[in-house]
Structure 1
Amino acid sequence: MHRDRIVGIITVIIGAAVALMTFQLPDSNMAGDVGPKVFPFISAAIMLLCGAILVVRKPTKDAKPFLVGEQKKRFLAIIGVIIGYIVLMWAAGFVIPTLLMLVVLCLMFGKDEKVPVWQAIVYAVIITGIIYVMFSIVLHLRLPVGNIINLI
């Protein structure tokens, strides 16, 4: 199956999920207000339309398969890292798993150029710090602390 068709199918699935989730949003209490459902639903409709176009469109002659060889290994490794990140975030909260995930992904994406480990660590610390400051201090939102830390 070609890359466009796979991306189209995934986009249709995500668009359908977003459309279904918009029905769970509450209605607006203000008269004349469109409410919180409109913009997510418009986004879902655009995703469904674009995904459907990718699915039904005839592939070009130079269309490439979705994943081949090394790409498939790298894709599965990234999925594994993300699953590990989700599990670690549940257990240890935001900071430690985010640092680990960013270091691992930075080293993985330095495909042809070897990224020095110290540089990956510096990037991870800076990005994690920026995300933490933006959510905790600027937006006043709590980031996950972790279930293991809650037990202590």
Structure 2
Amino acid sequence: MASDRIFGLVSLFVALAYIASATQIQTSFLADPVGPKAFPMLVGAVAALSSLVLILRPDPDPSWPIGRTWVSLLIAVVVLIAYAYSLKPLGFLVPTAIAAGVLSYQLSPQPRAAALTGVGLSVGLFVLFRFALGLSLFAFPKGWF
């Protein structure tokens, strides 16, 4: 029970810091009525509420994952950090395909299915973000084409 409450308290502080940082987002005079602060503040509020639930109603008998699960979590964190740093120099498609493939392989260790999932997710998200949402993503590094 103590571990849930400690994690809930730490998460609450992080959520409050996230909300505080979201209030510092600068808005231009051409912003939409909701503004760029709304979504981060909503995410922070949901995280704060979830943290309060952990503090007020902890699991009476939490079961911690075994060592193999910790290794999988560490691999996922490393992959996501590497993904964030590789987006700008390598474009969107290649890093997203690799990251999605590795994470998919962790969920279900089938190499062919993981590779197809990575490529499909990469292309699908690129089409969605670029053409449906109008984001200015580069598919590949600028020097390639």
Which TM-score tier does this pair reach, normalised by the shorter chain? 0.7 to 0.9
Q: Which amino acid letter does the alignment assign opposite residue 109 of structure 1?
A: L
Q: Distance in 2 between matches of 1:34 and 1:132?
A: 26
Note the alpha carbon deviations across 1:9-52, whole angstroms, 9 max, x for none. Answer: 453244223311331235797xxx77654564355334223303
Q: Which amino acid letter does the alignment assign opposite residue 81 of structure 2?
A: I
Q: Does residue 1:68 correspond to 2:66, yes or no?
A: yes
Q: Which residue of 1 aligns with 2:55?
A: 55
Contact 1:15–1:47 (CA<8 Å) still a contact in 2? yes
Q: Distance in 2 between matches of 1:11 and 1:98?
A: 28
State which structure, 1 or 2, has the greater radius of gyration over its C-alpha atoms: 1
Q: Which residue of 2 aligns with 1:131?
A: 125
Note the alpha carbon deviations across 1:55-97, whole angstroms, 9 max, x for none. Answer: 354541x3213x4311111111111111221222232121111
> Considering only aligned residues, what root-mean-square deviation do their CA atoms show, in Å?
3.1
Contact 1:28–1:34 (CA<8 Å) still a contact in 2? no
Given the superposition, is the C-alpha separation of residues 144 and 28 from structure 1 closer, same or farther in structure 2, using an over 3 Å criterion?
A: closer
Task: Give the share of equivalent positions with the same residue, in percent.
Answer: 26
Q: Distance in 2 between matches of 1:27 and 1:87?
A: 26
Q: Could you tell me how far 1:54 is from its partner in structure 2?
A: 0.8
Contact 2:91–2:139 (CA<8 Å) still a contact in 1? yes
Q: Which residue of 2 aligns with 1:78?
A: 76
Contact 1:81–1:101 (CA<8 Å) still a contact in 2? yes
Equivalenced residue count is: 141
Q: Which residue of 2 aligns with 1:142?
A: 136
Contact 1:4–1:54 (CA<8 Å) still a contact in 2? yes
Q: Does residue 1:107 correspond to 2:105, yes or no?
A: yes
Q: Distance in 1 between matches of 2:85 and 2:36?
A: 31
User: TM-score, structure 1 length as denominator?
Assistant: 0.71
Q: Distance in 2 between matches of 1:68 and 1:2?
A: 19
